[in-house]
Amino acid sequence: MNPFEVTRLGSTDVRVTRLGLGMAPIGGLYGKTGDEQARATVATAWDAGIRYFDTAPLYGNGLSERRAGVVLQDKPRDEFTLSTKVGRPLAPRPVSEQDIWAEPGPDATHFDFTVEGTAASYQESLARLGLDRVDVLHIHDPDDHFEEALAGSLVTLTRLRAEGSIGAVSAGMNQAPMLADFVRTGELDCVLLAGRYTLLDQSGFADLLPLCTARGVSVVVGGAYNSGILADPRPGATYDYAPASATVLARVLAVQEVCARHNVPLRAAALQFPYGHPAVASVIVGARSPEEVRDAVEMASHEIPGQLWRDLKGAGLLPGEVPLP
């Protein structure tokens, strides 16, 4: 698979590389990254050929956007695609408040999917990035706010697209059913589906992915490692941001055994599996260091024999009906 091949999102003029950089880790997800390492991570992705970058106000409570902008401000604006998110803007909070971000600052996110809140969130993101536009805006995790997001964020995003302020309208979630509801509005160009079309979890295949294919809506897959276990399966590894059960770990180890028989790293199979579905335009991979970026590029480029996928199906480790890369 060529990770630097460029494909279009929906019917828009927005184009992404098949491999994108997810920038939650450079916001200090679960561990400190530091400004220098964060800059080096984004720069390494650029030098490798990645031209799709995804961030959000939530990631490090603005830190990811600021760190990404330092690098991307110096790149030719028409040569990369950038997405960020709305619906979770920042507000002041006590510095002592702790969360999953290891480099706490003075702000934290809260939910606001109103028209006014969405418009303000976008402008605040641009200020942190130091850029005059992003290409894709995702409505971020509206799980408990669907009606508000329809009446607020979606209305604002479609207006921004009509004005030419953004190129594509999207929603990003860790679940498939509500994303399908957003697609049915007819207003989305793409969706960001995190952790629900992977070697471990193909729940997005039942409804969302066929719907996107039929509607011409592109799918960006995030969480291809399911928060860690598909990168390094061991006791204590995380699956969906919690310690994996013994059952899940056993299943991953069985997948890894099949991969080993074909001399294929598990990480390569995990990264490349989503590309088998025609709706999938790009897979974004989080990285916190240049080494992790280089590994992702290597895994996305690794040659995988078709027999490996057939063996996974034969062993009952992949559903028989899912399309293969």
323 phi and psi, to 5 degrees?
A: -70, 150
Active site residues: 59
DSSP-based three-state secondary structure for 56? coil
Write out the chain's pLDDT in tens, 325 residues: 999 999 999 999 999 999 999 999 999 988 999 999 999 999 999 999 999 999 999 999 999 999 999 999 999 999 999 999 999 999 987 655 557 889 978 899 999 999 999 999 999 999 999 999 999 999 999 999 999 999 999 999 999 999 999 999 999 999 999 999 999 999 999 999 999 999 999 999 999 999 999 999 999 999 999 999 999 999 999 998 889 999 999 999 999 999 999 999 999 999 999 999 999 999 999 999 999 999 999 999 999 999 999 999 999 999 999 999 9
Alpha-carbon 109 to chain mean position: 19
Report CA Rg, the chain. 19
Cα 60 to Cα 89, 139, 159, 314: the distances in Å are 12, 18, 28, 42
Residue 302 belongs to a domain: yes
Distance separating alpha carbons of residues 97 and 107, to the nearest angstrom: 10
137 touches 169 (CB < 8 A): yes
Helix (H, G, I), strand (E, B) or coil at 249: helix
In a domain, 120, yes or no: yes
Say which residues have a Cβ less than 8 Å from residue 7's Cβ, sequence separation at least 6. 15, 16, 18, 218, 281, 282
| 317/6 Cα distance (integer angstroms) | 30
CATH number at residue 143: 3.20.20.100
Tell me, yes or no, whether 257 lies in a domain.
yes
Domain membership of residue 29 (yes or no) is yes
324 within some domain: no
Q: Is 319 a member of any domain?
A: no
Q: Is residue 308 part of a domain?
A: yes
Q: How many independent structural domains does the chain possess?
A: 1
Q: Which domain holds residue 92?
A: 6-314
